[in-house]
C-alpha cells in the first residue's frame, strides 16, 4: 500500500464510549502514558507529576506523598499507551476509569479508543496530566452522563461514519494533526441529527460547538484503529506507533512489538508561541503523530521543511502550568528509523521489546 493509499484507507465509525478498564482490560493500579516504555524513576518531571495525579484521580492514594510512595515502590504499573489499542495524546494519562471514544474501522475489522477532549478543561487530566476535583468530576460526567444517550443512538443507528468527513476536511485544507478547523465544523453539523434524539441535546451540541480541536481525538483513534487493522491483516512496511515521553522518542513497526528509541527531540521551527524559549520546552511528548503513521499531518503539509532527517511531525504549542509543551515542528529521530531498518535486515530486535502477543500490556524496557 502506497502512502497516498494509506492516507485514504479505512472506514472509521464512532460506535461507543467505554471506560479504559473495560475496553483495554487495564488492571487496577495501572497507568498508561505517552511514548515508549520508561521506568518511573527515569521519567521527566511532567510525567512523574502526572502519575501522582493519576493515583489521586483513581483514589489509590489520598495525598501526593502517599502517591509518590506507591510509585517509588513499584506498586503502580506504568505502561506505554501504544502497547494497547489506544495512544497517548499529549501526556497520554489513561487509567481504568478514563472514558474512551471507541472507533471501529469497518474495512479492517479493528477497534481503538482514545480519551475525549475535556471541554472547558482542554487537555485536562488525560492530555496534560492535571488534576483537580473539578477535572475529575468533569471526566466522570462525560463518561456517565454526557455521552450516555448519544451512545445508545449510535448503537441504534449503526454508528457515526467519519470517513467522508475526514476526506472532505482534507480537501478544505485540514491536515488533521495541528489543523482541525474544517473537521470540527463538519463533524458538529453531521452529529446534529444524532444529538437531537437525546434529551441532553443542548449539552452535547454545546460540547461539540465549543471544544476546540475535539476531532483530533477522533482522528487519532481512527488512525490507531486503521494501523492495527492493517497489521492484523498481515500488512507490513509502515509504523504502528510514533511518540515521545519527554526523555525518549520511539517507533513501532508493523509485525513487531519492539520499540526503536532515541533521545526525544526538541521542537524546532517558526511555530513556537511568542515568548517561548528553548529552556522552557519539554522534549517531544505525546503519541499524536499516529496521524502521520497513516499519512495525515506533516505527511500532507510539513510546517518546517528546514528540519532535516526523518519524517516531519507538527502540532501546536501550549502553556501548561508555566511550562511550554506540545509541538512546533520536529521529526522522528533518524536513529529510530535506522535501528528499525537494521533490525529488519538482521532479523534482530535492536530495540525494547514487549513479551507476549502484539500490543501486549505492561511492558517495560528489557
User: How many C-beta neighbours within 10 Å does residue 266 have?
Assistant: 12
Q: What does the alpha-carbon distance between residue 126 and residue 116 come to, in Å, rounded to a whole number?
A: 9
Residue with cell 481512527: 222
Task: State pLDDT tens for residues 114-136.
Answer: 999 999 998 999 999 999 999 99
Sketch out the chain's domains with CATH numbers.
Answer: 240-353 (3.90.1700.10)
Between 227 and 312, whose confidence is greater? Answer: 227
| C-alpha grid cell, residue 294 | 497513516
Q: What is the pLDDT of residue 276?
A: 62
In the chain, the percentage of residues whose pLDDT exceeds 90 is 69
Q: What does the alpha-carbon distance between residue 238 and residue 235 come to, in Å, rounded to a whole number?
A: 8
Q: What is the pLDDT of residue 145?
A: 97
Task: State pLDDT tens for residues 211-230.
Answer: 999 999 999 999 999 999 99
Q: What does the alpha-carbon distance between residue 32 and residue 126 come to, in Å, rounded to a whole number?
A: 10
Q: What is the pLDDT of residue 282?
A: 84
Q: What does the alpha-carbon distance between residue 49 and residue 43 come to, in Å, rounded to a whole number?
A: 10
Task: State pLDDT tens for residues 227-247.
Answer: 999 999 999 988 999 999 999
Q: What does the alpha-carbon distance between residue 260 and residue 249 come to, in Å, rounded to a whole number?
A: 8
Amino acid at each position: 500500500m502506497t502512502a497516498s493509499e494509506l492516507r485514504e484507507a479505512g472506514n472509521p465509525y464512532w460506535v461507543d464510549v467505554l471506560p479504559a478498564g473495560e475496553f483495554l482490560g487495564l488492571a487496577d493500579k495501572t497507568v498508561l502514558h505517552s511514548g515508549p516504555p520508561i521506568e518511573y524513576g527515569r521519567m521527566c518531571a511532567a510525567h512523574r507529576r502526572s502519575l501522582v495525579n493519576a493515583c489521586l484521580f483513581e483514589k489509590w492514594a489520598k495525598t501526593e506523598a502517599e502517591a509518590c510512595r506507591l510509585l517509588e515502590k513499584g506498586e503502580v504499573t506504568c505502561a506505554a499507551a501504544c502497547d494497547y489499542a489506544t495512544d497517548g495524546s499529549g501526556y497520554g494519562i489513561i487509567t481504568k476509569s478514563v472514558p474512551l471514544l471507541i472507533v471501529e474501522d469497518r474495512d479492517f475489522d479493528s477497534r481503538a479508543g482514545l480519551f475525549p477532549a475535556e471541554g472547558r478543561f482542554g487537555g485536562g487530566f488525560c492530555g496534560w496530566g492535571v488534576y483537580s476535583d473539578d477535572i475529575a468530576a468533569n471526566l466522570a460526567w462525560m463518561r456517565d452522563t454526557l455521552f450516555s444517550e448519544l451512545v445508545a443512538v449510535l448503537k441504534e443507528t449503526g454508528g457515526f461514519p467519519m470517513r467522508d468527513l475526514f476526506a472532505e476536511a482534507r480537501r478544505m485544507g485540514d491536515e488533521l494533526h495541528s489543523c482541525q478547523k474544517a473537521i470540527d465544523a463538519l463533524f458538529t453539523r453531521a452529529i446534529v441529527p444524532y444529538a437531537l434524539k437525546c434529551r441532553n441535546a443542548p449539552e452535547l451540541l454545546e460540547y461539540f460547538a465549543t471544544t476546540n480541536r475535539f476531532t483530533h481525538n477522533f482522528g487519532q483513534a481512527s488512525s490507531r484503529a486503521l494501523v492495527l487493522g492493517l497489521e492484523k491483516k498481515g500488512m507490513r512496511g509502515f509504523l504502528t506507533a510514533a511518540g515521545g515521553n519527554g526523555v525518549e522518542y520511539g517507533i513501532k513497526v508493523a509485525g513487531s512489538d519492539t520499540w526503536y528509541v532515541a533521545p526525544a527531540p526538541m521542537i524546532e521551527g517558526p511555530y513556537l508561541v511568542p515568548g517561548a524559549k528553548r529552556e522552557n520546552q519539554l522534549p517531544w511528548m505525546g503519541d499524536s503523530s499516529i496521524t502521520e503513521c497513516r499519512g495525515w499531518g506533516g505527511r500532507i503539509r510539513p510546517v518546517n521543511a528546514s528540519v532535516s532527517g526523518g519524517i516531519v511531525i507538527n502540532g501546536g504549542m501550549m502553556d501548561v502550568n508555566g511550562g511550554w509543551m506540545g509541538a512546533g515542528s520536529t521529526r522522528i529521530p533518524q536513529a529510530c528509523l535506522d535501528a528499525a531498518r537494521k533490525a529488519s535486515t538482521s532479523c534482530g530486535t535492536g530495540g525494547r521489546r514487549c513479551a507476549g502477543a502484539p500490543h501486549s500490556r505492561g511492558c517495560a524496557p528489557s
